[in-house]
Copies of this chain bind each other. A is one copy, B any other.
Amino acid sequence: MTDLLERASARVRAAGGRMTGQRRLILETLTALPAHPTAEEVHARAARRDSTLNLTTVYRTLHWLEAHGLVEPRRFRGHGRHDHFDLAGAHGHHHFLCTQCQRVLEFDAPQVQAVARNYARRHAVKVLDASLVLYGLCAECAIRRAPVHRGNA
């Protein structure tokens, strides 16, 4: 974590930014929280260490970090209109989202790289990022629903 923090500091400075206490706290909070928290979740957790931290600062910092490649935004169906964020490279790039319990599971799938490369070649585009999201029922919810016969309500 300290390592990640140091690399982050370097990148912040390199981007002409200042490594303020708030920025450091927000970055540390991102490493301490489960994956893809919302700005409010980051704020709630970070406020445990510095209760003066303002939600506005969290929004601004998250967006600044995003613009400078340190965090990646996520947007999931069924998670309302909240934006979610992850430290860049800290988690799998792809997600499974349970439409019943809203649980989010992460995974990597090298095959997706192949699909992306293939698409890029055939359509002369440059692919910079890929995000696969699977929607369905997680193991628990699938069991809970298993007895339902298909085809009716």
Q: Which of B75, B111, B119, B127 contacts A76 (CB 8 A)?
A: B75
A contact residues, total (Cβ < 8 Å): 36
Q: Within the assembled complex, what's the spacing in Å between the Cα atoms of A123 and B137?
A: 11
| A115 CB, nearest partner CB in chain B, Å | 5
Q: Which interface residue of A105, A107, A123, A126 has the most chain B CB atoms within 10 A?
A: A126
Q: At the interface, yes or no: A131 with Cβ under 8 Å from chain B?
A: yes
Known: A81-B81, A115-B109, A119-B109. A130 touches B135 (CB 8 A): yes
Residues of A70-113 whose CB lies within 8 A of B: 73, 75-77, 81, 96, 98-99, 105, 107, 109, 111-112
Contact status B135-A128, CB under 8 Å = yes
Q: Which chain B residue has the least Cβ–Cβ distance from A66? A: B77
Binding site for B on A (CB under 8 A): 73, 75-77, 81, 96, 98-99, 105, 107, 109, 111-112, 114-116, 119-120, 123-139, 142
